[in-house]
Amino acid sequence: MKAPSPDRFVFLDEIQELPSLPQVLVGVSRVASDPTSNAGDLAGVILKDQALTMKVLRVANSARYAVSSARVTTVSRAVVLLGFESVRAIALGIGAYHLLSSLRKGGEIVRGFWAHAVGTAVVAQELADLLRYDVPEEAFVAGLLHDVGKLVLAHRWPDKAAGVYGSGLRGPALLTAEARAFGVDHVETGTELARRWELPEVLQAALARHHRTYHAPPAERSDRLAFLVVVAKALAEPLWAGAEPHRDLAASMARMLRKPVGLVLDALVRVPAKVREYARFFEIQVEDLKTYTLWVEQENQRLQEVFADREAERRRAERQEAELAAIREIHGRILECRDATDVAALVLRRAAHIVGAARLVALRVGSGRIEPAAWFGDVTPDFLDALELSPEAGGAVAGVLEGEPLCVVDRDLPYYRRVLTPAEARTFDARCFALLPLGSGGSPPWILYADREEDDEPFDDDEIESLSALGNLIPLAAHAARG
Protein backbone atom coordinates (compact mmCIF):
# COMPACT_ATOMS: atom_id res chain seq x y z
CA MET A 1 0.00 0.00 0.00
CA LYS A 2 1.37 3.41 -1.01
CA ALA A 3 2.04 5.66 1.99
CA PRO A 4 -0.43 8.55 2.13
CA SER A 5 0.88 12.08 1.81
CA PRO A 6 1.56 13.74 5.21
CA ASP A 7 -0.63 16.73 4.32
CA ARG A 8 -3.62 14.40 4.27
CA PHE A 9 -3.30 14.18 8.05
CA VAL A 10 -3.39 17.89 8.80
CA PHE A 11 -6.77 17.28 10.39
CA LEU A 12 -5.04 15.38 13.21
CA ASP A 13 -3.35 18.61 14.26
CA GLU A 14 -6.72 20.32 14.31
CA ILE A 15 -8.19 17.95 16.91
CA GLN A 16 -7.51 19.71 20.21
CA GLU A 17 -8.56 16.62 22.19
CA LEU A 18 -5.80 14.59 20.53
CA PRO A 19 -2.51 15.59 22.23
CA SER A 20 0.84 13.89 21.78
CA LEU A 21 1.61 10.78 23.75
CA PRO A 22 2.79 11.89 27.23
CA GLN A 23 6.52 11.88 27.73
CA VAL A 24 6.22 9.31 30.49
CA LEU A 25 4.84 6.79 27.96
CA VAL A 26 7.46 7.68 25.39
CA GLY A 27 10.01 7.12 28.12
CA VAL A 28 8.44 3.75 29.02
CA SER A 29 8.70 2.63 25.42
CA ARG A 30 12.30 3.74 25.02
CA VAL A 31 13.55 2.29 28.31
CA ALA A 32 11.79 -1.01 27.65
CA SER A 33 13.47 -1.19 24.24
CA ASP A 34 16.95 -0.49 25.66
CA PRO A 35 18.80 -3.79 26.25
CA THR A 36 20.93 -2.15 28.96
CA SER A 37 17.92 -1.14 31.08
CA ASN A 38 16.81 -3.03 34.16
CA ALA A 39 13.60 -3.31 36.18
CA GLY A 40 14.57 -0.32 38.33
CA ASP A 41 15.03 1.92 35.26
CA LEU A 42 11.59 1.07 33.88
CA ALA A 43 9.98 1.40 37.31
CA GLY A 44 11.56 4.84 37.72
CA VAL A 45 9.92 6.11 34.52
CA ILE A 46 6.50 4.68 35.42
CA LEU A 47 6.62 6.17 38.93
CA LYS A 48 6.66 9.67 37.38
CA ASP A 49 2.96 9.21 36.63
CA GLN A 50 0.87 8.31 39.66
CA ALA A 51 -2.18 7.19 37.67
CA LEU A 52 -0.06 4.95 35.43
CA THR A 53 1.67 3.51 38.49
CA MET A 54 -1.66 2.52 40.05
CA LYS A 55 -2.90 0.98 36.78
CA VAL A 56 0.24 -1.13 36.30
CA LEU A 57 0.02 -2.40 39.87
CA ARG A 58 -3.65 -3.17 39.38
CA VAL A 59 -2.89 -5.24 36.28
CA ALA A 60 -0.04 -7.05 38.05
CA ASN A 61 -2.45 -8.05 40.82
CA SER A 62 -5.24 -9.14 38.47
CA ALA A 63 -6.30 -12.76 38.15
CA ARG A 64 -4.38 -13.15 34.89
CA TYR A 65 -1.00 -12.53 36.47
CA ALA A 66 -1.43 -13.44 40.14
CA VAL A 67 0.90 -16.35 40.89
CA SER A 68 0.51 -16.35 44.67
CA SER A 69 -1.56 -14.81 47.42
CA ALA A 70 1.13 -12.15 47.99
CA ARG A 71 0.16 -8.81 46.43
CA VAL A 72 2.52 -6.92 44.14
CA THR A 73 3.19 -3.58 45.87
CA THR A 74 6.13 -2.15 43.90
CA VAL A 75 6.44 -1.27 40.23
CA SER A 76 9.85 -2.91 39.98
CA ARG A 77 8.33 -6.19 41.19
CA ALA A 78 5.55 -5.77 38.62
CA VAL A 79 8.16 -5.31 35.90
CA VAL A 80 9.96 -8.47 37.00
CA LEU A 81 6.68 -10.38 37.14
CA LEU A 82 5.22 -9.16 33.85
CA GLY A 83 8.39 -8.56 31.85
CA PHE A 84 9.69 -5.45 30.05
CA GLU A 85 7.71 -5.92 26.85
CA SER A 86 4.49 -6.68 28.70
CA VAL A 87 4.77 -3.60 30.92
CA ARG A 88 5.50 -1.44 27.90
CA ALA A 89 2.44 -2.79 26.11
CA ILE A 90 0.22 -2.37 29.17
CA ALA A 91 1.42 1.19 29.77
CA LEU A 92 0.93 2.16 26.12
CA GLY A 93 -2.54 0.63 26.03
CA ILE A 94 -3.59 2.46 29.19
CA GLY A 95 -2.11 5.74 27.99
CA ALA A 96 -3.65 5.54 24.54
CA TYR A 97 -7.06 4.74 25.98
CA HIS A 98 -7.00 7.71 28.35
CA LEU A 99 -5.96 10.06 25.55
CA LEU A 100 -8.52 8.79 23.07
CA SER A 101 -11.38 8.49 25.53
CA SER A 102 -11.70 12.28 25.38
CA LEU A 103 -12.98 11.97 21.79
CA ARG A 104 -16.73 12.18 22.32
CA LYS A 105 -18.12 13.31 18.96
CA GLY A 106 -19.13 10.85 16.29
CA GLY A 107 -22.48 9.46 17.33
CA GLU A 108 -23.18 5.74 17.51
CA ILE A 109 -19.70 4.50 16.59
CA VAL A 110 -18.12 6.50 19.44
CA ARG A 111 -20.68 5.31 21.98
CA GLY A 112 -19.91 1.65 21.34
CA PHE A 113 -16.30 1.97 20.25
CA TRP A 114 -14.45 1.08 23.44
CA ALA A 115 -16.69 -1.83 24.36
CA HIS A 116 -16.00 -3.36 20.94
CA ALA A 117 -12.31 -2.50 21.19
CA VAL A 118 -11.96 -4.17 24.59
CA GLY A 119 -13.78 -7.26 23.32
CA THR A 120 -11.43 -7.58 20.35
CA ALA A 121 -8.44 -6.94 22.62
CA VAL A 122 -9.41 -9.69 25.06
CA VAL A 123 -9.98 -12.22 22.27
CA ALA A 124 -6.64 -11.24 20.66
CA GLN A 125 -4.84 -11.77 23.95
CA GLU A 126 -6.45 -15.19 24.42
CA LEU A 127 -5.47 -16.20 20.88
CA ALA A 128 -1.93 -14.93 21.49
CA ASP A 129 -1.66 -17.34 24.40
CA LEU A 130 -2.98 -20.11 22.16
CA LEU A 131 -0.42 -19.35 19.43
CA ARG A 132 2.36 -18.78 21.98
CA TYR A 133 2.93 -15.23 20.79
CA ASP A 134 5.77 -13.99 22.99
CA VAL A 135 4.06 -10.84 24.32
CA PRO A 136 0.30 -11.43 24.60
CA GLU A 137 -0.12 -7.90 25.98
CA GLU A 138 0.93 -6.56 22.56
CA ALA A 139 -1.97 -8.49 21.06
CA PHE A 140 -4.27 -6.85 23.60
CA VAL A 141 -3.05 -3.35 22.69
CA ALA A 142 -3.22 -4.10 18.96
CA GLY A 143 -6.81 -5.30 19.41
CA LEU A 144 -7.65 -2.27 21.55
CA LEU A 145 -6.30 0.22 19.01
CA HIS A 146 -6.86 -1.52 15.66
CA ASP A 147 -9.88 0.61 14.72
CA VAL A 148 -8.75 3.81 16.42
CA GLY A 149 -8.77 5.54 13.03
CA LYS A 150 -12.57 5.17 12.95
CA LEU A 151 -12.82 6.92 16.31
CA VAL A 152 -10.68 9.83 15.12
CA LEU A 153 -12.48 10.20 11.77
CA ALA A 154 -15.91 10.02 13.41
CA HIS A 155 -14.89 12.67 15.95
CA ARG A 156 -13.55 14.99 13.24
CA TRP A 157 -16.45 14.55 10.78
CA PRO A 158 -19.43 13.23 12.78
CA ASP A 159 -22.03 14.00 10.09
CA LYS A 160 -20.13 12.21 7.33
CA ALA A 161 -19.27 9.37 9.70
CA ALA A 162 -22.94 8.70 10.40
CA GLY A 163 -23.47 7.92 6.72
CA VAL A 164 -20.28 5.92 6.25
CA TYR A 165 -20.47 3.82 9.40
CA GLY A 166 -24.23 3.48 9.37
CA SER A 167 -24.17 1.93 5.90
CA GLY A 168 -23.16 -1.56 7.09
CA LEU A 169 -20.16 -1.60 4.72
CA ARG A 170 -17.22 -3.78 5.69
CA GLY A 171 -13.77 -4.72 4.43
CA PRO A 172 -12.46 -3.07 1.23
CA ALA A 173 -15.85 -1.46 0.54
CA LEU A 174 -15.69 0.37 3.87
CA LEU A 175 -12.13 1.60 3.23
CA THR A 176 -13.22 2.92 -0.17
CA ALA A 177 -16.20 4.73 1.35
CA GLU A 178 -13.99 6.26 4.05
CA ALA A 179 -11.44 7.48 1.51
CA ARG A 180 -14.24 9.04 -0.58
CA ALA A 181 -15.81 10.78 2.44
CA PHE A 182 -12.75 11.79 4.45
CA GLY A 183 -9.88 11.68 1.98
CA VAL A 184 -8.23 8.97 4.07
CA ASP A 185 -9.37 5.64 5.55
CA HIS A 186 -9.28 4.47 9.15
CA VAL A 187 -6.34 2.11 8.59
CA GLU A 188 -4.14 4.95 7.29
CA THR A 189 -5.35 7.27 10.06
CA GLY A 190 -4.67 4.78 12.84
CA THR A 191 -1.24 3.96 11.44
CA GLU A 192 -0.30 7.64 11.22
CA LEU A 193 -1.43 8.22 14.77
CA ALA A 194 0.66 5.25 15.95
CA ARG A 195 3.68 6.67 14.08
CA ARG A 196 3.23 10.10 15.66
CA TRP A 197 2.97 8.53 19.06
CA GLU A 198 6.13 6.53 18.44
CA LEU A 199 4.41 3.28 19.26
CA PRO A 200 6.62 0.21 18.73
CA GLU A 201 7.03 -0.68 15.07
CA VAL A 202 5.34 -4.03 15.59
CA LEU A 203 2.17 -2.23 16.76
CA GLN A 204 2.35 0.28 13.90
CA ALA A 205 2.58 -2.60 11.44
CA ALA A 206 -0.32 -4.45 13.07
CA LEU A 207 -2.56 -1.39 12.75
CA ALA A 208 -1.50 -0.93 9.13
CA ARG A 209 -2.18 -4.58 8.20
CA HIS A 210 -5.31 -5.49 10.13
CA HIS A 211 -7.40 -5.50 6.93
CA ARG A 212 -5.12 -7.92 5.11
CA THR A 213 -6.33 -11.38 4.16
CA TYR A 214 -4.57 -14.24 5.92
CA HIS A 215 -5.02 -17.97 5.50
CA ALA A 216 -2.60 -19.16 8.18
CA PRO A 217 -0.43 -17.71 10.98
CA PRO A 218 2.42 -15.75 9.35
CA ALA A 219 6.01 -16.22 10.52
CA GLU A 220 6.97 -12.53 10.55
CA ARG A 221 6.23 -10.98 13.97
CA SER A 222 4.33 -7.85 12.94
CA ASP A 223 2.28 -9.81 10.42
CA ARG A 224 1.57 -12.37 13.12
CA LEU A 225 0.27 -9.61 15.38
CA ALA A 226 -1.96 -8.28 12.60
CA PHE A 227 -3.16 -11.83 11.95
CA LEU A 228 -4.18 -12.17 15.61
CA VAL A 229 -6.23 -8.97 15.31
CA VAL A 230 -7.92 -10.15 12.10
CA VAL A 231 -9.02 -13.41 13.70
CA ALA A 232 -9.92 -11.72 17.00
CA LYS A 233 -12.20 -9.23 15.18
CA ALA A 234 -14.16 -12.09 13.70
CA LEU A 235 -14.38 -14.10 16.92
CA ALA A 236 -15.31 -11.05 19.00
CA GLU A 237 -18.26 -10.12 16.77
CA PRO A 238 -20.76 -12.45 18.51
CA LEU A 239 -20.09 -10.48 21.74
CA TRP A 240 -22.54 -7.86 20.65
CA ALA A 241 -26.29 -8.34 20.60
CA GLY A 242 -27.68 -8.52 17.10
CA ALA A 243 -24.45 -9.76 15.54
CA GLU A 244 -25.35 -13.20 14.20
CA PRO A 245 -22.15 -15.12 13.35
CA HIS A 246 -22.13 -17.46 10.40
CA ARG A 247 -22.54 -21.09 11.35
CA ASP A 248 -18.94 -22.18 10.78
CA LEU A 249 -17.24 -19.10 12.26
CA ALA A 250 -15.39 -20.91 15.06
CA ALA A 251 -14.38 -23.80 12.80
CA SER A 252 -13.16 -21.55 9.97
CA MET A 253 -11.13 -19.36 12.35
CA ALA A 254 -9.65 -22.48 13.94
CA ARG A 255 -8.52 -23.60 10.49
CA MET A 256 -6.84 -20.24 9.98
CA LEU A 257 -5.15 -20.52 13.38
CA ARG A 258 -4.08 -24.09 12.54
CA LYS A 259 -5.48 -25.16 15.92
CA PRO A 260 -8.22 -27.64 16.88
CA VAL A 261 -11.56 -25.88 17.14
CA GLY A 262 -11.96 -27.32 20.65
CA LEU A 263 -8.89 -25.38 21.86
CA VAL A 264 -10.19 -22.19 20.27
CA LEU A 265 -13.56 -22.59 21.99
CA ASP A 266 -11.83 -23.31 25.30
CA ALA A 267 -10.10 -19.95 24.95
CA LEU A 268 -13.35 -18.17 24.07
CA VAL A 269 -15.11 -19.55 27.15
CA ARG A 270 -12.94 -17.19 29.24
CA VAL A 271 -13.71 -14.10 27.16
CA PRO A 272 -16.94 -12.74 28.75
CA ALA A 273 -15.49 -12.69 32.28
CA LYS A 274 -12.32 -10.98 31.07
CA VAL A 275 -14.25 -8.42 29.05
CA ARG A 276 -16.16 -7.52 32.22
CA GLU A 277 -12.88 -7.29 34.16
CA TYR A 278 -11.29 -4.93 31.62
CA ALA A 279 -14.51 -2.95 31.31
CA ARG A 280 -14.26 -2.21 35.05
CA PHE A 281 -10.57 -1.41 34.57
CA PHE A 282 -11.27 1.12 31.80
CA GLU A 283 -14.52 2.25 33.43
CA ILE A 284 -16.69 1.58 30.39
CA GLN A 285 -20.10 0.00 29.98
CA VAL A 286 -20.48 -3.31 28.13
CA GLU A 287 -23.62 -4.98 26.89
CA ASP A 288 -25.08 -8.17 28.32
CA LEU A 289 -22.61 -10.88 27.31
CA LYS A 290 -25.01 -13.80 27.73
CA THR A 291 -25.39 -13.96 23.95
CA TYR A 292 -21.69 -14.67 23.55
CA THR A 293 -21.69 -17.26 26.31
CA LEU A 294 -24.65 -18.96 24.66
CA TRP A 295 -22.93 -18.89 21.25
CA VAL A 296 -19.78 -20.53 22.66
CA GLU A 297 -21.90 -23.15 24.43
CA GLN A 298 -23.79 -23.89 21.21
CA GLU A 299 -20.52 -24.16 19.25
CA ASN A 300 -19.16 -26.55 21.86
CA GLN A 301 -22.35 -28.60 21.64
CA ARG A 302 -22.06 -28.71 17.86
CA LEU A 303 -18.44 -29.77 18.18
CA GLN A 304 -19.39 -32.57 20.55
CA GLU A 305 -22.07 -33.74 18.12
CA VAL A 306 -19.59 -33.74 15.25
CA PHE A 307 -17.08 -35.68 17.31
CA ALA A 308 -19.81 -38.08 18.41
CA ASP A 309 -20.81 -38.65 14.79
CA ARG A 310 -17.21 -39.22 13.77
CA GLU A 311 -16.63 -41.54 16.70
CA ALA A 312 -19.78 -43.48 15.85
CA GLU A 313 -18.64 -43.79 12.24
CA ARG A 314 -15.20 -44.96 13.35
CA ARG A 315 -16.71 -47.53 15.70
CA ARG A 316 -19.12 -48.65 12.97
CA ALA A 317 -16.24 -49.21 10.55
CA GLU A 318 -14.25 -51.10 13.18
CA ARG A 319 -17.27 -53.25 14.03
CA GLN A 320 -17.91 -54.07 10.39
CA GLU A 321 -14.28 -55.07 9.89
CA ALA A 322 -14.33 -57.25 13.01
CA GLU A 323 -17.67 -58.74 11.96
CA LEU A 324 -16.33 -59.75 8.54
CA ALA A 325 -13.24 -61.30 10.12
CA ALA A 326 -15.43 -63.26 12.57
CA ILE A 327 -17.74 -64.48 9.78
CA ARG A 328 -14.75 -65.75 7.79
CA GLU A 329 -13.41 -67.55 10.85
CA ILE A 330 -16.77 -69.11 11.73
CA HIS A 331 -17.41 -70.18 8.14
CA GLY A 332 -14.10 -71.99 8.30
CA ARG A 333 -15.30 -73.92 11.35
CA ILE A 334 -18.59 -74.74 9.65
CA LEU A 335 -16.80 -76.10 6.60
CA GLU A 336 -14.84 -78.35 8.95
CA CYS A 337 -18.24 -79.73 10.13
CA ARG A 338 -17.56 -78.76 13.71
CA ASP A 339 -20.23 -79.47 16.32
CA ALA A 340 -22.97 -76.85 16.24
CA THR A 341 -22.57 -76.17 19.96
CA ASP A 342 -18.85 -75.45 19.53
CA VAL A 343 -19.59 -73.12 16.63
CA ALA A 344 -22.30 -71.41 18.71
CA ALA A 345 -19.80 -70.83 21.54
CA LEU A 346 -17.36 -69.22 19.06
CA VAL A 347 -20.15 -67.05 17.63
CA LEU A 348 -21.06 -65.81 21.10
CA ARG A 349 -17.44 -64.99 21.98
CA ARG A 350 -16.93 -62.99 18.82
CA ALA A 351 -20.33 -61.28 19.09
CA ALA A 352 -19.65 -60.24 22.69
CA HIS A 353 -16.40 -58.59 21.61
CA ILE A 354 -17.89 -56.86 18.56
CA VAL A 355 -21.04 -55.36 20.14
CA GLY A 356 -19.99 -55.21 23.79
CA ALA A 357 -22.59 -57.57 25.22
CA ALA A 358 -22.41 -58.62 28.86
CA ARG A 359 -24.17 -61.99 28.44
CA LEU A 360 -25.01 -64.02 25.35
CA VAL A 361 -26.97 -67.24 25.23
CA ALA A 362 -27.84 -69.37 22.19
CA LEU A 363 -31.22 -71.01 22.85
CA ARG A 364 -32.28 -74.12 20.93
CA VAL A 365 -35.99 -74.40 20.15
CA GLY A 366 -37.68 -77.78 20.36
CA SER A 367 -40.65 -79.68 21.76
CA GLY A 368 -42.52 -76.56 22.77
CA ARG A 369 -39.65 -75.31 24.91
CA ILE A 370 -36.45 -73.36 24.58
CA GLU A 371 -33.25 -74.44 26.29
CA PRO A 372 -29.72 -73.00 26.48
CA ALA A 373 -27.18 -74.66 24.16
CA ALA A 374 -24.21 -72.30 24.45
CA TRP A 375 -23.43 -69.17 26.42
CA PHE A 376 -20.80 -66.52 27.06
CA GLY A 377 -20.21 -63.94 29.80
CA ASP A 378 -21.29 -63.86 33.41
CA VAL A 379 -23.99 -66.51 33.03
CA THR A 380 -25.03 -68.22 36.27
CA PRO A 381 -26.61 -71.70 36.55
CA ASP A 382 -29.75 -70.10 37.98
CA PHE A 383 -30.07 -67.86 34.95
CA LEU A 384 -29.63 -70.84 32.58
CA ASP A 385 -32.28 -72.80 34.47
CA ALA A 386 -34.67 -69.85 34.24
CA LEU A 387 -34.15 -69.67 30.47
CA GLU A 388 -35.72 -73.10 29.98
CA LEU A 389 -39.06 -71.53 29.18
CA SER A 390 -42.26 -72.74 27.61
CA PRO A 391 -43.53 -69.95 25.35
CA GLU A 392 -46.75 -68.34 26.62
CA ALA A 393 -49.28 -66.93 24.21
CA GLY A 394 -48.87 -63.19 23.84
CA GLY A 395 -45.44 -63.21 25.45
CA ALA A 396 -42.11 -61.98 24.11
CA VAL A 397 -40.70 -65.45 23.38
CA ALA A 398 -43.85 -66.44 21.48
CA GLY A 399 -43.45 -63.34 19.34
CA VAL A 400 -39.79 -64.14 18.62
CA LEU A 401 -40.77 -67.69 17.61
CA GLU A 402 -43.04 -66.10 15.02
CA GLY A 403 -40.02 -64.32 13.58
CA GLU A 404 -40.37 -60.96 15.37
CA PRO A 405 -37.15 -59.74 17.08
CA LEU A 406 -37.46 -57.89 20.38
CA CYS A 407 -35.02 -55.18 21.50
CA VAL A 408 -35.77 -53.91 25.00
CA VAL A 409 -34.34 -50.46 25.76
CA ASP A 410 -35.53 -50.38 29.38
CA ARG A 411 -37.37 -53.31 30.89
CA ASP A 412 -39.01 -51.06 33.52
CA LEU A 413 -40.92 -48.98 30.98
CA PRO A 414 -44.68 -49.60 31.05
CA TYR A 415 -44.68 -50.84 27.45
CA TYR A 416 -42.40 -53.77 28.26
CA ARG A 417 -44.45 -54.69 31.32
CA ARG A 418 -47.26 -55.39 28.88
CA VAL A 419 -45.03 -57.26 26.40
CA LEU A 420 -43.31 -59.58 28.89
CA THR A 421 -45.21 -62.28 30.74
CA PRO A 422 -44.58 -62.48 34.51
CA ALA A 423 -42.27 -65.49 34.01
CA GLU A 424 -40.33 -63.68 31.27
CA ALA A 425 -40.06 -60.52 33.39
CA ARG A 426 -38.51 -62.59 36.18
CA THR A 427 -36.14 -64.40 33.80
CA PHE A 428 -34.90 -61.53 31.66
CA ASP A 429 -33.52 -59.52 34.55
CA ALA A 430 -31.28 -57.08 32.62
CA ARG A 431 -32.46 -53.51 32.06
CA CYS A 432 -31.80 -53.70 28.30
CA PHE A 433 -31.60 -56.86 26.24
CA ALA A 434 -32.42 -58.37 22.85
CA LEU A 435 -34.14 -61.58 21.73
CA LEU A 436 -33.47 -62.41 18.08
CA PRO A 437 -34.89 -65.26 15.97
CA LEU A 438 -32.15 -67.23 14.19
CA GLY A 439 -32.67 -69.20 11.02
CA SER A 440 -34.87 -68.83 7.97
CA GLY A 441 -38.57 -69.67 7.76
CA GLY A 442 -41.51 -68.88 9.97
CA SER A 443 -40.44 -71.07 12.89
CA PRO A 444 -36.84 -70.26 13.89
CA PRO A 445 -34.89 -73.21 15.32
CA TRP A 446 -32.73 -70.94 17.50
CA ILE A 447 -33.06 -67.76 19.55
CA LEU A 448 -30.22 -65.46 20.54
CA TYR A 449 -30.39 -63.70 23.88
CA ALA A 450 -28.00 -60.76 24.50
CA ASP A 451 -27.90 -58.11 27.21
CA ARG A 452 -25.85 -55.20 28.46
CA GLU A 453 -24.53 -54.07 31.84
CA GLU A 454 -26.98 -52.06 33.94
CA ASP A 455 -25.42 -48.66 33.15
CA ASP A 456 -24.75 -49.32 29.45
CA GLU A 457 -26.76 -47.93 26.56
CA PRO A 458 -29.22 -50.29 24.79
CA PHE A 459 -28.12 -52.00 21.59
CA ASP A 460 -28.43 -49.73 18.58
CA ASP A 461 -29.69 -50.82 15.14
CA ASP A 462 -26.20 -51.50 13.79
CA GLU A 463 -25.36 -53.68 16.78
CA ILE A 464 -28.59 -55.63 16.41
CA GLU A 465 -27.71 -56.25 12.75
CA SER A 466 -24.28 -57.54 13.79
CA LEU A 467 -25.82 -59.84 16.40
CA SER A 468 -28.28 -61.15 13.84
CA ALA A 469 -25.62 -61.67 11.12
CA LEU A 470 -23.35 -63.60 13.47
CA GLY A 471 -26.15 -65.42 15.27
CA ASN A 472 -27.57 -66.78 12.02
CA LEU A 473 -24.38 -68.73 11.53
CA ILE A 474 -25.47 -71.00 14.41
CA PRO A 475 -28.42 -72.69 12.62
CA LEU A 476 -26.23 -72.86 9.50
CA ALA A 477 -23.64 -74.77 11.53
CA ALA A 478 -26.34 -77.06 12.95
CA HIS A 479 -27.62 -77.81 9.45
CA ALA A 480 -24.11 -78.51 8.15
CA ALA A 481 -23.36 -80.83 11.07
CA ARG A 482 -26.54 -82.85 10.36
CA GLY A 483 -25.67 -83.08 6.66
- How high is the mean pLDDT of the chain? 85
3-class SS at 61? coil
Helix, strand, or coil (residue 228): helix
Per-residue pLDDT band at 205 (split at 50, 70, 90): very high
Choose the weakest-confidence range: 83-97, 163-177, 417-431, 442-456.
83-97
Helices of type H across 336-380: 340-355
DSSP sequence for 436-472 = EEESSSSS-SEEEEEE--TTSPPP-HHHHHHHHHHHT
pLDDT in tens, 281-336: 777 877 778 878 888 888 888 888 877 777 778 888 888 999 999 999 999 999 88
Classify residue 346: in a domain, yes or no. yes
DSSP tag of 422: H
- Mean pLDDT across the stretch 23-37? 78
The answer as to whether 342 is a domain residue is: yes
**Range of 372's domain?**
322-482
Query: What pLDDT digit, counting tens, does each position of 337-352 carry?
Result: 888 889 999 999 999 9
Q: Which residues contact 239 (CB under 8 A, 6 or more apart)?
A: 116, 119, 271, 272, 275, 287, 289, 291, 292
SS3 assignment, position 408: strand
Average pLDDT score over residue span 68-76: 74
The span from the CA of 472 to the CA of 175, in Å, is 71
User: CATH no. for residue 366?
Assistant: 3.30.450.40
Tell me what pLDDT residue 408 has: 92
pLDDT value, residue 66: 61
pLDDT attached to residue 134: 86
Quote the pLDDT of residue 83: 81
DSSP class of 336: T
The pLDDT value recorded for residue 366 is 85
Q: Per mean pLDDT, which range of 3-12, 87-96, 301-310 is the poorest?
A: 3-12
Q: What is the DSSP string of 154-194?
A: HHH-HHHHHHHHTTT--HHHHHHHHHHHHSS-HHHHHHHHH
Residue 416 lies in a domain: yes
Which is more confident, 187 or 298? 187
Residue 178, in any domain of the structure: no
What confidence score (pLDDT) does residue 450 get?
96
Q: What proportion of the chain, given as a percentage, has pLDDT over 70?
A: 92
Q: What is residue 225's predicted lDDT score, i.e. its pLDDT?
A: 93
Output the 3-class SS for the chain. Answer: CCCCCHHHHHHHHHCCCCCCCCHHHHHHHHHHHCCCCCHHHHHHHHCCCHHHHHHHHHHHCCCCCCCCCCCCCCHHHHHHHHCHHHHHHHHHHHHHHHHHCCCCCCCHHHHHHHHHHHHHHHHHHHHHHHCCCCCHHHHHHHHHHCCHHHHHHHHHCHHHHHHHHCCCCCHHHHHHHHHHHHCCCHHHHHHHHHHHCCCCHHHHHHHHHCCCCCCCCCCCHHHHHHHHHHHHHHHHHHHCCCCCCCCCHHHHHHHHHCCCHHHHHHHHHCHHHHHHHHHHHHCCCCCCCHHHHHHHHHHHHHHHHHHHHHHHHHHHHHHHHHHHHHHHHHHHHHHCCCCHHHHHHHHHHHHHHHHCCCEEEEEEEECCEEEEEEEEECCCHHHHHHCCCCCCCCCHHHHHHCCCCEEECCCCCHHHHHHCCHHHHHHCCCCCEEEEEECCCCCCCEEEEEECCCCCCCCCHHHHHHHHHHHCHHHHHHHHHHC
pLDDT at residue 72 is higher than 60: yes
pLDDT at 12: 82
Whether 423 maps to a domain, the answer reads: yes
Please report the pLDDT score of residue 20 as a whole number.
64
What number is the average pLDDT over the span 428-447? 89
3-class DSSP assignment, residue 295: helix
Interatomic CA distance for residues 231 and 256, integer angstroms: 8
Q: Over range 257-279, report the average pLDDT.
A: 87
DSSP 7: G
Tens digit of each residue's pLDDT (9 = 90 or more) over 350-386: 999 999 899 999 999 987 789 999 999 989 999 999 9
**Amino acid residing at 455:** D
Number of independent structural domains in the chain: 1
Cα 199 from Cα 154, distance rounded (Å): 22
- pLDDT exceeds 60 at position 470: yes
Predicted pLDDT of residue 1: 46
**Within a 10 A sphere around the Cβ of 177, how many other Cβ atoms?**
17
In order, the DSSP letters of 17-50 are T--PPPHHHHHHHHHHH-TT--HHHHHHHHTT-H
Q: Residue 453 domain-assigned?
A: yes
356 assigned to some structural domain: yes
The predicted structure's pLDDT at residue 386: 92
Is the separation of the CB atoms in 407 and 465 below 8 Å? no
Q: How confident is the model at residue 465 (pLDDT cuts 50, 70, 90)?
A: very high
> What backbone torsions phi and psi does residue 48 show, to the nearest 5 degrees?
-70, -15
pLDDT at 168 over 70: yes
Q: Has residue 226 been placed in a domain?
A: no
* Residue 67 pLDDT > 60: no
Bridge partners of 361, per DSSP, are 375, 449
